[in-house]
């Protein structure tokens, strides 16, 4: 993508705006430093007289809630805030019911706004709550993790997990605005930053080889205090996601490309019990490496591509094989069974995202389950031997 390979010196503008063109559900993603203290003004200017109920988690609240509340209060927009426990377990029916009731107790009306202020967990849960509250109220995403800024806050997928699998209950409900303040990432734990980076790399790997090449050269700047590099990585990712969502809002086709690495990744997450043994982005990192290795093994992709992908992700500090998961003793049939629980199953066939090269992912249902099982047996054996 030419805009990415341009010199960073050309990227000094503070804030950039990525439009998501979805007709009557269109909205902007604003990206840049210090947007949080501007949130009240941005909401007031763009979204009228609505009042805001903020939903956040305890980690984000500790670092940033006071800034957001002050900004909303200054515009007379704050109804109140609800602080939930941090972690994947919060994306559940157990939290959803009480959250909806607390939003009603705060007096959220049909014309008001729910503000999802946190990582992907809060974005998915609060977005779902907004989608069903009073048959749907508008919501604003203020994503605070890198993963949420580049992926989960854009595209309108909301939902919760159940014992049957991740994200199996939910609605498509687009936000009316996304405000991604790059400065809030300074408090994000390093491991979470790396996990989010896996989704950034995903956009290069699935459709933009030049962006992947740029990341290979510039990832240290993205992780350092270089606002221009970080903003550029987020902007490119959001543009890529927006383009796919615009083509296929409800995932009847191309949007499945965004699941590169996710069929394997979700199975690994489920197998590790959605615990701190494996973060979502770490599962995606391993899953993308597996997708490249499987594609190479099937003769779909040039030799050496898989090694290039894992070498970059390993340099960043991400896991690249099943054996990198601590305490792991995976079983291939169990992982394949868990893949079958994933929602990307149609007529009993697994939908896989495989690759023809760096930046060339495609959707297929042609891979036999036995082939995947044999592949995983080898992966697990190699991992143990290493
Ligand atoms: P998360 O929301 O659990 O956040 C990760 C951790 O970082 C949490 O402990 C959180 O409290 C903390 N945190 C977040 N921002 C912080 C900040 N600025 N400073 C300090 N701590 C901060 O997880 P995540 O990785 O953001 O999101 C993962 C979730 O997103 C998963 O549930 C996944 O299914 C979902 N997801 C959804 C979509 C979608 O399209 N809706 C896409 C990708 C992922």
Is ligand 1 within 6 A of the CB of residue 184?
A: yes
255 classed as catalytic: yes
Q: 146-160, 216-230, 367-381: lowest mean pLDDT where?
A: 367-381
Confidence grade of residue 330 (pLDDT, cut at 50, 70, 90): confident
Sheet (strand 138-143) strand order: 16-20, 27-32, 177-181, 138-143, 113-118, 52-57, 78-84
> 268, 286 in Cβ contact below 8 A?
yes
Report how far residue 311's alpha carbon sits from residue 329's, in angstroms, rounded to the nearest whole number. Answer: 23
- From the list 138, 280, 312, 344, the catalytic residue is 280
250 classed as catalytic: no
Greater model confidence, 377 or 349:
377
Beta bridge partners of 118: 143
> 353, 259 in Cβ contact below 8 A?
yes
**pLDDT for residue 10 is more than 60:** no
| % the chain with pLDDT above 90 | 80
> 198, 291 in Cβ contact below 8 A?
no
When pLDDT is averaged across residues 342-363 and rounded to a whole number, the result is 80
- From the list 59, 161, 218, 259, the catalytic residue is 259
What was the pLDDT predicted at 342? 58
The pLDDT tens digits for 40-50 are 999 999 999 89
What was the pLDDT predicted at 47? 94
173 classed as catalytic: no
Confidence grade of residue 301 (pLDDT, cut at 50, 70, 90): very high
The pLDDT tens digits for 158-168 are 999 988 778 88
251 classed as catalytic: yes
Mutate to test the pocket of ligand 1, among 160, 174, 280, 285 (most ligand atoms within 8 A of CB): 280
Q: 35-39, 205-209, 326-330: lowest mean pLDDT where?
A: 326-330
Strand 113-118 to 165-172 pairing: unpaired
Report how far residue 196's alpha carbon sits from residue 370's, in angstroms, rounded to the nearest whole number. Answer: 32
Report how far residue 293's alpha carbon sits from residue 320's, in angstroms, rounded to the nearest whole number. Answer: 11
Mean pLDDT of the chain: 92
Report how far residue 210's alpha carbon sits from residue 192's, in angstroms, rounded to the nearest whole number. Answer: 25
**pLDDT for residue 318 is more than 70:** yes
Ligand 1 center to residue 145 CA distance, Å?
A: 6
**pLDDT for residue 140 is more than 80:** yes
What was the pLDDT predicted at 204? 98
**pLDDT for residue 4 is more than 80:** no
């Amino acid at each position: 993508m030419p805009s990415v390979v341009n010199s960073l010196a050309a990227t000094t503008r503070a804030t950039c705006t990525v439009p998501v063109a979805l007709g009557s559900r269109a909205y902007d993603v604003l990206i840049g430093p210090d947007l949080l203290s501007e949130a009240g003004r941005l909401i007031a200017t763009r979204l009228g007289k609505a009042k805001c109920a903020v939903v956040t988690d305890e980690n984000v609240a500790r670092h940033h809630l006071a800034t957001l509340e002050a900004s909303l209060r200054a515009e007379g927009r704050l109804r109140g805030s609800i602080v939930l426990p941090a972690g994947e377990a919060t994306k559940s029916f157990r939290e959803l019911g009480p959250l909806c009731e607390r939003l009603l107790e705060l007096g959220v009306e049909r014309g008001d706004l729910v503000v999802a202020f946190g990582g992907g967990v809060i974005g998915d849960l609060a977005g779902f709550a907004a989608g069903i509250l009073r048959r749907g109220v508008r919501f604003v995403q203020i994503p605070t993790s890198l993963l949420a800024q580049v992926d989960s806050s854009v595209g309108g997928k909301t939902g919760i997990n159940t014992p049957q699998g991740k994200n199996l209950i939910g609605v498509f409900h687009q936000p009316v605005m996304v405000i991604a303040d790059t400065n809030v990432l300074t408090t994000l734990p390093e491991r979470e930053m790396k996990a989010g980076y896996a989704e950034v790399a995903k956009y290069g790997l699935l459709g933009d080889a030049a962006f992947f090449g740029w990341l290979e050269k510039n990832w240290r700047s993205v992780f350092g205090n270089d606002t221009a590099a970080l903003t550029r990585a987020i902007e490119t990712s959001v543009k890529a996601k927006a383009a796919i969502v615009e083509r296929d809002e409800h995932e009847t086709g191309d949007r499945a490309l965004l699941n590169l690495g996710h069929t394997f990744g979700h199975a690994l997450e489920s197998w590790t019990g959605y615990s701190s043994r494996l973060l979502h982005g770490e599962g995606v990192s391993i899953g993308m490496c597996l997708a490249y290795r499987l594609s190479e093994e099937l003769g779909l992709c040039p030799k050496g591509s898989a090694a290039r992908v894992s070498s970059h992700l390993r340099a960043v500090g991400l896991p690249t094989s099943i054996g990198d998961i601590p305490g792991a003793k995976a079983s291939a049939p169990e992982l394949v069974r868990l893949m079958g629980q994933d929602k990307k199953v149609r007529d009993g066939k697994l939908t896989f995202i495989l690759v023809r090269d760096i930046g060339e992912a495609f959707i297929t249902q042609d891979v036999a389950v036995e082939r995947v099982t044999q592949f995983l047996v080898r992966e697990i054996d190699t991992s143990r031997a290493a």
